[in-house]
Structure 1
Amino acid sequence: MIMENTYKESAPERPEAKRSVFLWIDNLVNVDFLTQKRKPINYIPYVLYLTILGIFYISNTHYARKLQRQIIILEKDVTNLRSDYTQSQAKYMNTTKYSEVEKRAKDMGLERAEKVPYQIIIKK
């Protein structure tokens, strides 16, 4: 029995693995150089500094958003109070007119004086 030479069948090509974001970041940011010269424990102060800085940044952002919400609420209150003040001022201006005062005085039974007021002087 004579064997023939045949070509080896190649395995079916596997589709290329999908590139994920994490693989891209891993290839972009290679941090192996950090452990080549120094021990990882030497980096603890830097990591703590960056952690504290991050916490400060986050807390500052939350505080700013809280203040912004309070400012919006207070601006609405100021708008409402300004309109109330304008209405009260208009009402006051209307009620202090001479004709309005005279109408209210008539309702209470008061009449306009016919004589001019005069001063009584007592000599000792």
Structure 2
Amino acid sequence: MSGNNFKSKLKRGSGKQKTGGKKNLFALIDEKINITGLIGEGIPVRLVPPFLYAATIALIYIWSNHRAENTIRKIERVQQEVEDLRADVTTLEADYMYSSKQSEVAKKIEVLGIYEIDAPPTKIKAKK
């Protein structure tokens, strides 16, 4: 080890890395996309407002979609609950109509000692 030696850079298409070290993600992205060739050494200030405007519009669009999907899920949940309640109401109405029949009422009050009259009602005539 007589001194520091610079290692040669990786040639395109060789497939092997001569440096022996690993490249990080940002170095690979910069190598593949060549961002500095597109925009130069820095971000032009004139591009910042349109980019921020587009990013804001994109965020509003994403937020709106999420809110709409949540609202749709809530609506479906409430519709299912309404259908369940409607089925319960129909069942309760049928039970009520059945239990309010004269024969069913008569069966329920027999326990209390009240019996149903089998004879038809008679007219009482009063003499003047």
Give the TM-score range, shorter chain.
Answer: 0.5 to 0.7
Q: Which residue of 2 aligns with 1:19?
A: none
Distance 1:99 1:49 in 2: 77
Cα RMSD of the aligned pairs, angstroms, is 3.8
Offset at residue 99 of structure 1 (A): 1.1
* 1:65 maps to amino acid: E
Q: 18, 43, 65: which is aligned to 2:47?
A: 43
Over the matched positions of the two proteins, sequence identity in percent amounts to 29
Distance 2:112 2:67 in 1: 58
* 2:55 maps to amino acid: T
* 1:85 maps to amino acid: V
TM-score with structure 2 length normalisation? 0.56
For structure 1, which runs of at least 5 residues remain unmatched after alignment? 1-13, 15-25, 27-31, 117-124
Q: 95, 108, 111: which is aligned to 1:107?
A: 111
Q: Which residue of 2 aligns with 1:73?
A: 77
Offset at residue 108 of structure 1 (A): 2.0
Alignment size in residue pairs: 101
What does residue range 62-101 of structure 1 map to in structure 2 within 5 Å?
Answer: 62-101=66-105
Highest relative contact order (Cα 8 Å, sep 6+), 1 or 2?
Answer: 2
Distance 1:49 1:66 in 2: 26
Distance 2:110 2:48 in 1: 88
For structure 2, which runs of at least 5 residues remain unmatched after alignment? 1-12, 14-32, 122-128
Distance 2:113 2:45 in 1: 95
